[in-house]
Amino acid sequence: MTRRSGVLLALFCACNDPAATTASGTDDSSTTATDTGEPGASTSTTTGTTTAPTTTGDPTSSSSGDPGFDPPAPVCGNGYLEADEECDDGNDADDDGCDSACLVPCGLAGEAVALAPSAESELWVVAVAPAPDGGFVAIARQREITSDEEGMQTIGLARTRVIRYDPDAQPAWDVLLAPADVRLTPVDGVVDADGHVYVAATVDGADGNDVRAVKLDGSDGHVLWTMDKDGAEPTSDDSASGIALAPDGDVVIAGDVIEGPGGGDVWVGKLAAADGAEVWTTVWSGEGNGMFSNDDAGRLAVAEDGSIYVGAREYVDYNIGEAVLLKFAGDGGPAEWVFSPLADGSVHNHGPGWVSVDAAGDVLYTAVRLQGAVPNFWIYKVGPDNELLWERALADYENDGDSWSLDGAAFTPGGEVVLAGGFRVKDKQAQLEWREAWVARLGGDGEVRCRVRHRAPSPDLLPPDIIAYDAAVGADATAYLGGVQVAAGESQSWVGLFRP
């Protein structure tokens, strides 16, 4: 049975004064945890309903509880948490973790949730693309699963679902790409100045997987053109990894493609926005072991001067996978330089995370540990001439829970940095565990300006899981965190909007 998509718009990010914590013992409650950026410091506010005590006797007597005057109006900046305030630190400064409107910077401003076709189905956002009008597009992976009366499941193929949201976070249109018998797995998306949507995905081809780019009309989501890239090697399994806009309005797409018997290479192509025609393509291959090099592409970003930056995993040998950042010229050709910050000769397997470029041409690049008992991630700010400006790691951000992950990173229009991810929380006493999201904003120097944790509200003891997969930043510096919310075993696509 097909279910109607729904959207929940919440303006409830419950945060408070860093020095105070309040709670209600009622079941009708919602909680959002807020980290002020100081190690170990987090607060939460729980809102709920309470019932006033019943009194009897002379209504004119003082026992009625009527003070005889109206309470004072709430005032932001008086040091007391009142009405709809998220915090009140007793001043009107905007840069101390509680702004002049008594709101917490980085706090949740709203969210959009879409339902899967059935309770058993899978649906999660793999990429969020801000739109010029203040709206956004959620690119989601959907797999429909249904059960008959005897409990036998029918499991469909992975498909690409694209949902366009207006600036008020209400859905404008919602489309599924490719027929039900074709696997189409999305990886990234972007919206151009006219509101048209470009999606990068991996599709089942005639002789293995192929890279696919699709352009959708911004008004209703109908397909304007499709481009497929199939590697020259027979039965090659190729895959898309990212897509971005070039300054001239065309699009650049990346993936890994097998062009010969030596393994896969990082492939980058520029496509004409009008019809998807190939403008140019180029490939990059690591040295490998001299005979074999199976390299993997990651996300990419394009600078204002047209320079293209692509994250990749370089196959060094059987024991070593290296996270690298590649720079290409705007007109293609070989890579101009390779940034390989973790190459020390040790046995490890690292891969690329996210790539972003600011107005000054500096690059934000993240790398992740792909294997190992202890998760880790690294964040680098790199100049256009391959000079390292600063670096950070997981230890600079985790302060509670475990299995911290970095699931998105991007520059703001003003050159600040947004980081987003998730982590696991364990309640040992109740023997429960769940997933929460985190968002941090850094200055251009890499220092934390504010940081919050987001726990999905629930009337139950066990909150729904929030699992993040991507983060993006809009023109107004709103941070969009996309992923999945799992409530009572049911997957719902989730996008959280976080304030600057």
CATH number, domain with residue 317: 2.120.10.30
**What sign does the CA torsion over 122, 128, 131, 134 have?**
positive
298 in any annotated domain: yes
196 in any annotated domain: yes
Pairwise pLDDT comparison (166 vs 106), residue with the higher score: 166
Radius of gyration of the chain (CA): 25
Encode 257-266: b = buried (16+ Cβ within 10 Å), e = exposed: bbbeeebbbb
| Residue 150: pLDDT over 90 | no
32 in any annotated domain: no
Number of domains, the chain: 1
| Other beta carbons less than 10 A from residue 28's beta carbon | 10
Res. 66 pLDDT band, cuts 50 70 90: low
In angstroms, the CA 29 to CA 26 distance is: 7
Determine the pLDDT at residue 429.
Answer: 78
Determine the pLDDT at residue 65.
Answer: 54
463 in any annotated domain: yes
78 in any annotated domain: no
Determine the pLDDT at residue 84.
Answer: 78
Cα angle, residue 474 at apex, residues 127 and 116 outer, rounded to 5°:
35
In angstroms, the CA 279 to CA 281 distance is: 7
Domain that holds residue 338: 120-477
Q: Which of 22-31, 177-186, 283-292 has the highest mean pLDDT?
A: 177-186
Q: What would the mean pLDDT of 485-499 be, rounded to a whole number?
A: 95
Determine the pLDDT at residue 294.
Answer: 92
207 in any annotated domain: yes
Assessment of whether the complete model's pTM goes beyond 0.75:
yes
Written as six digits, the tokens of 469 are 């997969």
Q: Rounded to a whole number, what is the largest CA-CA distance in the chain? A: 95
Out of 8-22, 161-175, 189-203, 226-240, least confident range: 8-22
| Residue 17: pLDDT over 50 | no
Res. 93 pLDDT band, cuts 50 70 90: confident
Residues contacting 238, CB < 8 A, separation 6+: 202, 205, 208, 209, 210, 211, 229, 230, 231, 255, 256, 257, 258, 264, 267
Pairwise pLDDT comparison (36 vs 146), residue with the higher score: 146
